[in-house]
Amino acid sequence: MSDSLGRAPARLLVPAGLATLLLVLPLVSLLLTAPWSMLGEQLGTEALRQAMWLSVLTATVATGVCLLLGLPLAWVLARVDFPGRRLLRTLVIVPLVLPPVVAGVALVSAFGRTGIIGEPLRAATGLSLPYTTAGVIVAHVFVSLPFVVISIEGALRSAHQEYDAAAATLGASRWHAFRTVTVPLALPGIAAGMVLAWARSLGEFGATITFAGNYPGTTQTMPTLIYLSINSHPEAAKTLSLVLLLLSLAVLVALRDRWLVTS
Amino acid sequence: MPRPILTRLLVPAAVCLLLPLSACGDDTTEIKVLAAASLTESFQTLEKQFEDDHDGVDVKLSFGSSTTLAEQANDGAPGDVLATADEKSMDLAVDGGSATGEPTKFATNALVLVVPADNPAKITGFDDFADSDWVRCDDEVPCGRLAVSLLEENEVEQEPVSREVDVKSVLAKIASGEADAGFVYASDAVAAGDDVKMFPVPGADEQPNPYFIATLDQSGDSDLAQEWLDLVSSDEGQKVLEEAGFSTP
Amino acid sequence: MSDLDASLEVPGRVSADFAADRGDVIAVIGPNGAGKSSLVKAVAGLVPATGRVTLDGRNLMELPTRERGLGVVFQDQLLFPHLDARDNVAYGPRARGVTRADARRRADQWLSALGVGDLAHRRPGQLSGGQAQRVAIARALVTDPTLLLLDEPMSGLDVGVATSLRIELARHLSEFGGIALLVTHDALDALTVANRVLVLDEGKVAQFGTPHEVSQRPVTDHVARLVGLNVIRAGDELRAFEPTAVTVNLTEPTGSARHRWAGRVAAVTPHGAALRLVVRTADNGPELIADVTPEAATELELTLGRSVWVSVKETSVRAYTNRTQ
């Protein structure tokens, strides 16, 4: 606890300890009070298996979409100088501060059956996003994309631009440099952004239910299932939360050793 | 060293916030009513009435889901009266010891079919459900169980596109035109006004949702709490409830 | 018409005209802030600049960096940290469409030529400063550039490492066959590696000539100090003399010396077998350096702050005009 710079001061240690307690205590309490005996029974239910599969599927697809769209946007924000860049960066962050339900309402007004884009789209093609798994993914992407963009943009900024210059002097086109230099150097940030996006998607509830609705097998994800169980079967809700918690933990721990240990 | 002025001002204010409300306010009497969300409009009307009738009494209304309110009451949350939108939640409060005395059934709320004001799918009853995007509450919540039972009774086999988490979500989907039809309580449909059109559901009157009210064990003024109960059951109270779409016993 | 004809300006930083032919190694020297790095970066297209840089009839300024056919060695190397030494060197050929195997073979050849063939599989983080700079030089040379830009390649290296790298760099540059632009703040680099010296001062070319011309007849105080010469300026007329030609007395000399100044000793440092004095002359006169024997220094008690007279014989003074200004 002490080194040549002096002891770690209590005014830092005490809040750090409080922060740890605040983060860990509720999770530990959940583990302690969960009806473990119901776990097997719960895991066997069709509803849980459907919701879990759908959660993993939509979170994973949404993370992929976030990467495909977020990496280029982060690159543009970090590397291209254009008027309105600061404004665009601010706009990208806005979904972070929106209450999830508001995010859902915003999505409805754009892509809903009566939305600005949703209505003409439905009229022209008969397709609409609400009540579909694609709608769930769109909601997840909407709330997760800011994490990916912010995280990758930070990584691109700290992965110094001089390396791009070095690549250019060696004859690399911008796209070649992007693939062979920019992305590899930003990899820790990209991985962190994707993990954040995946975790955010897995826990997403408000925007999903407001925009895509709730139907088992199509749009019902774990958080919705848990929320609905709280009213009728509080014990079951705890067990379901436990399953979601363990699932997220397993993925985060598996990823941590591989991706999150940044040099 | 003198303490900064901000600290001197903030500390007493913060202490005041942490203590029960009565400790820092003036000496008006207060009763707190925990009520199911569907009672919002009618209880707000009754609140004015009650305060007009009782000088120096301030009614605080706290709306939420019946189950949540019952659990909070059992946990000792401050409150004088509990009004639930189903029997099960009231049983919870009785079993938990927070509801004292015999709970009174003071209203019922029947399920109705609602469609958007312009009724794009031209739905007037179950016969029009095929190929439409209709919604109901999830099986896990009372309005959903009620809908399922009515649908079975009417031999409707179509599935909804979404099972919403509560009746307000169903109403929102209809009012915004995101769904073609849905099932809500009559009181909700009345509250939505011109945003939706309402149709009766065959058999709904035989399966009304009962509303119960009881005084709470933790009430600081059980006489006043009882007076709220009396107002709700009075002709005046019943009339307010009927105007809000409820049926009365 | 030379192979390279440059006339370019980096607004607010540097403005320079110069020409060179294949085989030329141009040392770019000047004090910090003179615009050395800006000049090189402008040629590479890495900072906004105006003007013309014609190389074999093509105006480089109209081309993006990657099409300019340059080799660049950066001050801090900028080796790609996620690639090993071999793939760093192979990067240029790969970017130009050479197959991986071929690019790696050429990389290995160049790494061996630079004496770091056995470090091919190390990442930049596992290389010493000197090793990394050799890899960086190999990376710049592997694409056979016509124009090689080196931005202070020796800075930040230990003296011993820099010395051996300098010798090798001189060898590679003499074999290089293209045109090299070497930014340095070390007179040794300029004098031993280059055949032309471009002296920058306050964003302008102060002098452009052979190492001999520049070291014998410097026109800037910076170069005079670098090469260890006293330079006295009177308008465009300049007079240079060696520190060894300066006589130091405690009283005003009465002999034949035409040039004499009163002053105080401002610094004393060993210089080879002699002691080098810096004398700050009175009335805001020039700061002069004089080499004296340790015996003389002891006899005259030449310590800091000592009042002295310094003088130089006219026969020891080279007079010349600053033609570039």
- Give me the percent of chain C exceeding a pLDDT of 70: 98
Residues C131, C17 within the same domain: yes
Q: Domains in chain C: how many in total?
A: 2
Residues C157, C202 within the same domain: yes
Residues C85, C183 within the same domain: yes
Please report the residues numbered 107 through 146 in chain A whose beta carbons come closer than 8 angstroms to any beta carbon of chain C. none
Per-residue pLDDT, A258: 62
CB-nearest to C65 from A169, A180, A187 is A169
Contact B174, B196 (CB under 8 A): yes
Residues C167, C214 within the same domain: yes
CB contact burial C243-265 (16+ within 10 A = b; e otherwise) = bebbbbeeeeeeeebebbbebeb
- At C50, which CATH number? 3.40.50.300
Checking DSSP bridges between strand B134-137 and strand B162-164, what pairing results, if any? parallel
Q: How far is A258 from chain C (nearest CA, A)?
A: 16
Q: Do residue C65 and residue A173 have CB atoms under 8 angstroms apart? A: no
Establish if A172 touches chain C: CB-CB under 8 angstroms.
yes
With bands split at pLDDT 50, 70 and 90, how would you rate the model's confidence at B1? very low
Give CA–CA dist B42/B32, Å, rounded.
16
- In this predicted complex, what is the ipTM? 0.82
Give CA–CA dist B105/C287, Å, rounded.
107
Mean pLDDT of chain B: 86
Residue where a domain stops, chosen among C164, C197, C221: C221
Q: Do residue A166 and residue C82 have CB atoms under 8 angstroms apart? A: no
Look-up: residue for tokens 């014989």? C313
Q: Do residue A229 and residue B176 have CB atoms under 8 angstroms apart? A: no
pLDDT per position as a tens digit, C81-110? 999 999 999 999 999 999 999 999 999 999
**Backbone angles phi and psi of B183, in degrees to 5:** -110, 125
Nearest chain A alpha carbon to C72: A169
Per-residue pLDDT, B101: 79
pLDDT per position as a tens digit, A44-67? 788 888 999 999 999 999 999 999
Instruction: Collect all residues with Cβ–Cβ distance below 8 Å to B45 and sequence separation of at least 6.
Output: B240, B244
Q: The tokens of C234 are what?
A: 């009177």
pLDDT at C274 > cutoff 80: yes
- Taken in order C101, C107, C111, C114, the sign of the CA dihedral is positive
pLDDT per position as a tens digit, B156-193? 888 999 999 888 899 999 999 999 999 999 998 998 88
Q: How far is C297 from chain A (nearest CA, A)?
A: 47
**Backbone angles phi and psi of C252, in degrees to 5:** -65, 125
With bands split at pLDDT 50, 70 and 90, how would you rate the model's confidence at A183? very high
The rounded radius of gyration (Å) of the Cα atoms in chain A is 22
Per-residue pLDDT, A149: 95
Residues C133, C78 within the same domain: yes
By residue range, what is the domain housing residue C93?
A: 4-221
Q: The tokens of C85 are what?
A: 């030494």
Residues C210, C116 within the same domain: yes
Residues in A whose CB is inside 8 Å of some CB of B read 108, 112-114, 130-131, 209-210, 212-216, 219-220, 224, 227-229, 231-233
Nearest chain B alpha carbon to A212: B162
With bands split at pLDDT 50, 70 and 90, how would you rate the model's confidence at C232? confident
Per-residue pLDDT, B4: 52
Nearest chain C alpha carbon to A186: C82
pLDDT at C324 > cutoff 80: no
Q: Do residue B163 and residue A220 have CB atoms under 8 angstroms apart? A: yes
Please report the DSSP string for A207-241 in residue order.
Answer: HHHHHH---TTTT--HHHHHHHHHHH-HHHHHHHH
Q: Do residue C46 and residue A169 have CB atoms under 8 angstroms apart? A: yes
Helix axes A133-158, A85-97, angle to 10 degrees: 130
Long-range Cβ pairs for the range C215-221 (8 Å, 24+) = C215/C187, C215/C191, C216/C240, C216/C318, C217/C318, C217/C320, C219/C322, C219/C324, C219/C325, C220/C30
Look-up: residue for tokens 């820099």? C162
- At C299, which CATH number? 2.40.50.100
Give CA–CA dist C280/A119, Å, rounded.
86
Number of residues in chain B = 249
Establish if B219 touches chain A: CB-CB under 8 angstroms.
no
CB contact burial A69-108 (16+ within 10 A = b; e otherwise) = ebbebbbebbeeeeeeeeeebeebeebeebebeebbbbbb
Q: The tokens of B122 are what?
A: 């031209």
Please count the CA atoms within 13 angstroms of the CA of A51 that sit on its side-chain side.
29
Q: Do residue B140 and residue A219 have CB atoms under 8 angstroms apart? A: no
Paired residues of B132 in beta bridges:
none
Q: The tokens of A14 are what?
A: 């005490």
Give CA–CA dist B49/B227, Å, rounded.
12
Give CA–CA dist A137/A139, Å, rounded.
5
Q: Do residue A171 and residue C95 have CB atoms under 8 angstroms apart? A: yes
Please report the DSSP string for C73-132 in residue order.
Answer: EBTTB---TTS-HHHHHHHHHHHTT--HHHHHHHHHHHHHHTT-GGGTT--GGGS-HHHH
Q: How far is A24 from chain B (nearest CA, A)?
A: 24
CB-nearest to C74 from A166, A181, A184 is A166
pLDDT at A116 > cutoff 60: yes
The DSSP output letter for B247 is B
Helix axes A118-125, A100-111, angle to 10 degrees: 40
Give CA–CA dist B160/B32, Å, rounded.
38
Helix axes A46-79, A183-203, angle to 10 degrees: 140
pLDDT at B3 > cutoff 70: no
pLDDT at B199 > cutoff 60: yes
Q: Do residue C91 and residue A180 have CB atoms under 8 angstroms apart? A: yes
Please count the CA atoms within 13 angstroms of the CA of B175 that sit on its side-chain side.
16
The DSSP output letter for C202 is T
Residues C98, C166 within the same domain: yes
CB pairs under 8 A between A and C: 59
Contact C259, C245 (CB under 8 A): no
Question: Could you tell me which chains touch chain C, where touching means 3 or more CB pairs under 8 A?
Answer: A
Quick one: average pLDDT of C275-293?
89
As to burial, measured by CB atoms within 10 angstroms (0-12 exposed, 13-18 middle, 19+ buried), residue C57 is: exposed
Q: Do residue B161 and residue A108 have CB atoms under 8 angstroms apart? A: no
User: What is the distance of C-alpha A7 from the center of its chain?
Assistant: 38
> Which range, of A140-144, B14-18, B95-99, B106-110, averages the lowest pLDDT?
B14-18
pLDDT per position as a tens digit, C137-159? 999 999 999 999 999 888 878 88
Residues C160, C181 within the same domain: yes
Per-residue pLDDT, B69: 92
Of B196, B184, B187, B191, nearest to B245 (Cα)?
B187
Contacts of B65 in chain A (CB under 8 A): 231
Residue where a domain stops, chosen among C221, C249, C275: C221
Please count the CA atoms within 13 angstroms of the CA of C242 that sit on its side-chain side.
7
Residues C248, C207 within the same domain: no
> Which range, of A68-82, A119-133, B68-82, C310-324, averages the lowest pLDDT?
C310-324
Establish if B169 touches chain A: CB-CB under 8 angstroms.
yes
pLDDT per position as a tens digit, C202-219? 889 988 999 988 888 888
Q: How far is B45 from chain A (nearest CA, A)?
A: 28
Q: Do residue A170 and residue C66 have CB atoms under 8 angstroms apart? A: yes
With bands split at pLDDT 50, 70 and 90, how would you rate the model's confidence at B88? confident
Contact C277, C219 (CB under 8 A): no
Contact B166, B160 (CB under 8 A): no
Does residue A130 sit in helix, strand or coil?
A: coil
Contact A237, A225 (CB under 8 A): no
Quick one: average pLDDT of C44-53?
93
Quick one: average pLDDT of B13-38?
66
Per-residue pLDDT, A236: 81
Contacts of B70 in chain A (CB under 8 A): none
Q: How far is A71 from chain C (nearest CA, A)?
A: 19
Contact: chain A with chain B (3+ CB pairs below 8 Å): yes
Establish if B136 touches chain A: CB-CB under 8 angstroms.
no
Contact C91, C82 (CB under 8 A): no
Checking DSSP bridges between strand C246-249 and strand C307-312, what pairing results, if any? antiparallel
Give CA–CA dist C212/C218, Å, rounded.
10
The structural domains of chain B, ordered by start, are 5-108+209-243 (3.40.190.10), 111-206 (3.40.190.10)
Contacts of A178 in chain C (CB under 8 A): none
Residues C188, C295 within the same domain: no
Contact: chain B with chain C (3+ CB pairs below 8 Å): no
Helix axes B235-243, B222-233, angle to 10 degrees: 60
Contact B187, B245 (CB under 8 A): yes
Residues C212, C274 within the same domain: no
Of B177, B175, B203, B173, nearest to B191 (Cα)?
B175
Q: Do residue C91 and residue A167 have CB atoms under 8 angstroms apart? A: yes
Q: Do residue B138 and residue A114 have CB atoms under 8 angstroms apart? A: no
Contact A190, A67 (CB under 8 A): yes
Q: The tokens of B3 are what?
A: 């303490």
With bands split at pLDDT 50, 70 and 90, how would you rate the model's confidence at B25? very low
Q: How far is B49 from chain A (nearest CA, A)?
A: 32
pLDDT at B13 > cutoff 80: no
Residues C154, C236 within the same domain: no
Per-residue pLDDT, A3: 67
User: What is the distance of C-alpha C57 from the center of its chain?
Assistant: 27
pLDDT at A39 > cutoff 60: yes
Contact: chain C with chain A (3+ CB pairs below 8 Å): yes
Question: Could you tell me which chains touch chain B, where touching means 3 or more CB pairs under 8 A?
Answer: A
The structural domains of chain A, ordered by start, are 57-215 (1.10.3720.10)
With bands split at pLDDT 50, 70 and 90, how would you rate the model's confidence at B24? very low
Please report the DSSP string for A55-78 in residue order.
Answer: HHHHHHHHHHHHHHHHHHHHHHHH
**Neighbour tally for A1: CB within 10 Å:** 5
Q: How far is A195 from chain C (nearest CA, A)?
A: 22
Give CA–CA dist A170/C65, Å, rounded.
9
Please count the CA atoms within 13 angstroms of the CA of A112 that sit on its side-chain side.
26
Does residue A193 sit in helix, strand or coil?
A: helix
Per-residue pLDDT, B12: 47
Per-residue pLDDT, B21: 46
Contacts of A240 in chain B (CB under 8 A): none
